[in-house]
Amino acid sequence: MRTLKVQDVIVGSGAAGGVLAHRLSRAGRSVALVEEGPEVSKADFTQREDQMYALLHRDAGGQATVDGGVAVLQGRCLGGSTTVNMGDCVPITDGVIDHWRQHFGWGDWGGISNADIHAAAAAVQADMGAGPIPEDMVNKANDLLRQGAGSLGMAGEILHHNRVGCIGAGYCTIGCAYDAKRGTLVAHIPAAREAGCELLCDALVDRVILDGSRAVGVEGPGFRVDAERVFLCAGAIHTCGILHRSGHSSDAVGANLSLQPQAPLVAIFPEEVRFFRGVPQSYAVVEDLTSDADHGLGGFTLEGVSTGPALASSMIPGTMAELIALMSRYAHMAASLCLVPDRPGGRVVWGDRPRPTIKYTPSDDHQRRLRAAIKAASRCYLAAGAERVIGPAAGCPEMRSEADLAAIDTMSMRSSDLPMISAHPQGSCRMAPDAFNSVVDMDFRVRGVDGVWLCDASIFPTTASTHTMVPVMSMAHLLAQQVLS
């Protein structure tokens, strides 16, 4: 058995874990960073979907809700989901922060102001060289969405990202073979290792080791790390599993899950689009996105997106014959994700099985806004000259004109008919001052056990942002400041 002894052990190397490892090790702490997935680098990224989903994604991209309606995509490799995401950098807005302060008790959060949270976001974005996507990197697919939205008077924006030196290969979700996308794999972990951080990959943490009510490390098959402090950063689904296996029996563990599910929409254009080249996600229609203290994040956004043929074909409804005919027009496709922020309502359940049960049912309000988002995206593509738009649900007819959009109003929203994607699970270990309804106190400490801090998307009371990488990194930056002060 491999045994290490350090001051700080961090479980998970994604947005939170990578930043914490960077900050703590460079401050002179002895740190072990433990990652369930494999150690990878650009040399491993073959740009083949059949190889990379199995190597880099949780369950090869097959993790899903219990009814199969929402594919819950997460990275399972060094760098976590920051290695396989689209690189979008969207901080928490004042409206969301104020919502948490007014409705979830974050008002007296250790003197941390909105300005402090924004400063943390600026710091982690500086780590990654983040900034606006250059105009010449907005690919044709995203530009068609922009053209359509503009002709309809819908407000939109070019997104910010963490790429430096991007060549537009388009393989972002299966690992950047050029080290242009600066997730924690590139921006944080190498510097942490240079400062002495020990790295354990292919190391599944089974549980936190306790001495009475105090944590003294973590262990898993074939290894043990003794530590003064434990930081859990395994994500909104799998941090719950570690707490469950460690004997944490609070009903709040796994509750209040948000998935922010997104429905994919495909349009076929008469000319070649080649949406699989360039920055996959560079433009968003934000006309209907809302953010305020009363309700937090609401409405919806439409985001241009692309992916390889394997994932693309898995999200398009229809018979095999229809799918084969459609995929023959792959170079003529453009696609969007209709992203609809949800309210907490799901639950992650860990029992004796090695995988979680993710229970989630979209609310009536979410389905109403999702229909509106699908209709808005369809209108954008038709206005941009699409010859047809493929509805995201089984049984929805192809749309070739405005008159056809009425089909969306009666489109089936059953999980068996409408495949959706979640890349932003949040909220399963809520942070709040109310001990009855939270897992983590306002100092990021896990309730009921000494020496364990929790920092990942599970702490958010509601949906933090349309993209959660920078919000999670911001929390890790603030936590590092707290424990190093």
Averaged over 368-377, what is the pLDDT? Answer: 97
pLDDT tens-place string over residues 239-295: 999 999 999 989 999 999 999 999 999 999 999 999 999 999 999 999 999 999 999
What is residue 45's predicted lDDT score, i.e. its pLDDT? 98
The strand pair at 131-132 and 160-161 is best described as antiparallel
Averaged over 60-65, what is the pLDDT? Answer: 95
Instruction: Report percent pLDDT > 90 for the chain.
Output: 90
pLDDT tens-place string over residues 173-191: 999 999 999 999 999 999 9
Averaged over 59-75, what is the pLDDT? Answer: 95
Residue whose structure tokens are 């029996």:
249
pLDDT tens-place string over residues 10-36: 999 999 999 999 999 999 999 999 999
What is residue 397's predicted lDDT score, i.e. its pLDDT? 87
Averaged over 320-336, what is the pLDDT? Answer: 91
Please name which of 167, 158, 165 lies closest in space to residue 182, comparing C-alpha atoms: 165
- Measuring CA to CA, how many Å separate 244 from each of 174, 210, 250, 348? 31, 13, 9, 11
- Measuring CA to CA, how many Å separate 108 from each of 30, 390, 483? 32, 48, 18
Residue 352, pLDDT > 80, answer: no
Residue 349, pLDDT > 90, answer: yes
Residue 101, pLDDT > 80, answer: yes
What is residue 354's predicted lDDT score, i.e. its pLDDT? 80
Output the average pLDDT for the chain. 96
Residue whose structure tokens are 């996959």:
280
User: CA geometry: angle at 68 spanning 64 and 70, to 5°?
Assistant: 60
The strand pair at 223-232 and 214-220 is best described as antiparallel
Residue whose structure tokens are 């029992």:
351
By CB atoms closer than 10 A (0-12, 13-18, 19+), residue 43 is exposed
